A and B are shown apart, each in its own frame.
Chain A
Amino acid sequence: MTLWTWVLIACAAVYLTKIAGYLVPGSWLEHPLVGRISGLMTVALLASLVAMNTASGDDGVVLDARLGALAAAAVALLLRAPFLVVVLAGAGAAAGLRAFGLG
């Protein structure tokens, strides 16, 4: 399948996840386990995406300037910086480290 097909299927799939919530009877999602696993899954998926985007490389795991971006973002978050500042800190750290020939 072409990339366009995957893009459009992904758009439809995400819309279905959204409209589904408005269509199911509320009582269906009152079971505590459903809400719990949904919350846990969000944490696990985001943590996995952080790890994957930090360390992905052609041959499995690569550690480079993105590790500096992760550290800079963590510091910004500890200092309660706004989301945009956190993103800029990550970009700045990665760009800065590369400018100095690291990673």
Chain B
Amino acid sequence: MTASSDRQALGRSRLTPATRTGLSIAAAVSLYGISFGALSVASGLTLWQTVALSALLFSGGSQFAFIGVLAAGGTGAAALGASTLLSARNTIYAVQMKAMFDPTGWRRLVSAQLTIDESAANAMSQTDPAERRRGFWVTGIAVYLGWNLATVVGALLGDFVAEPEALGLDGAVVAAFLGLLWPRLRAREPWALAVLAALVTVLTMPLLPAGVPVLLAAVVAAAWGLLWRPRSSGTRTEVPTAEAEGARR
């Protein structure tokens, strides 16, 4: 997107490309927050614990991991471990956001909270510095508001759902995780690792406490990274980056 086409886009609409992308991502992701709210309550969390996870933790994958481990009968410690490990990628996003527009003071504290897959991906898919900043903030704020609103709606509706399984909410979570994983499976290596991690998980589930197989999968990934290095030094192309995902959107 060149500066001139940016101006043309501005002429047609008051919303820039980064803003429009951010709002449409937020619309889709926010609705998915309904299933989080409903499933969280179904997993045994109270309405306020569910609200706290969306407002304070605010990282979809980690939130589903937290309640997923608990729903599968795991301990609070296992839920904490899975949720924190799954947020490790946010650290990498944060470094990339810092490199792009280095927020300082209170903006840094707020931008940290808003650093998630969607805001980082939108920011990284833009080329203009102002659009990058706008993409990050619009996506982050819109997803934050929508996600939290949807969480409350889902949690309240969930209270009236006697059997969440009848609505297929557990199937929705399976599909959501596959949907999060899917964009990363665009090369042979991540496919092989994903199959191995899934196998290790299923094979160790009968042997280990619930939630622990997820942590074992993280160990498998670390060992994989240490044992097999990409042939050309310094390349990260075998695992699709968030930047590539952002470009795809």
Contacts and interface: CB of A to CB of B under 8 A. Distances in A.
Interface in A84-103: 84, 86-96, 98-99
Given A6-B80, A22-B112, A95 B177 contact: no
A47 B194 contact: yes
Contact of A15 (B32, B44, B76, B112): B112
B174 A20 contact: no
Interface string A59-82: 111000110111011101100001
B214 to A, nearest CB: 5
A4 B58 CA distance: 16
Contact of A95 (B77, B171, B193): B171
A26 B98 contact: yes
A86 B171 CA distance: 10
Contacts of A52: 68, 72, 201, 205, 211, 213-214
B115 A13 contact: no
B178 A50 contact: yes
Contact of B220 (A10, A44, A90): A44
A77 to B, nearest CB: 5
A18 B88 contact: no
Classify chain B's interface size.
35 or more
Interface string A38-67: 111111111111111111101111000110
Interface string B7-27: 000000000000000000000
Contact of B108 (A5, A22, A93): A22
Interface string B39-75: 0000011000100110011110110111010111100
B111 interface: yes
B207 to A, nearest CB: 8
A5 B49 CA distance: 10
A56 B72 contact: yes
Given A18-B94, A21-B90, A87-B179, A43 B73 contact: no
A24 B95 contact: yes
Contact of B170 (A5, A15, A66, A88): A66
B162 interface: no
B98 A22 contact: yes
A73 B175 contact: yes
Given A15-B57, A17-B90, 16 more contacts: A5-B76, A7-B52, A7-B66, A14-B90, A21-B90, A39-B239, A41-B88, A43-B181, A43-B184, A45-B82, A46-B177, A48-B216, A49-B177, A53-B177, A94-B172, A98-B165
15 contacts: A3-B49, A4-B49, A13-B83, A26-B95, A32-B234, A37-B221, A39-B240, A44-B197, A44-B221, A47-B195, A47-B217, A52-B211, A53-B174, A56-B205, A94-B174
Interface of A: 1, 3-11, 13-15, 17-22, 24, 26, 29, 32-33, 35-56, 58-61, 65-66, 68-70, 72-74, 76-77, 82-84, 86-96, 98-99
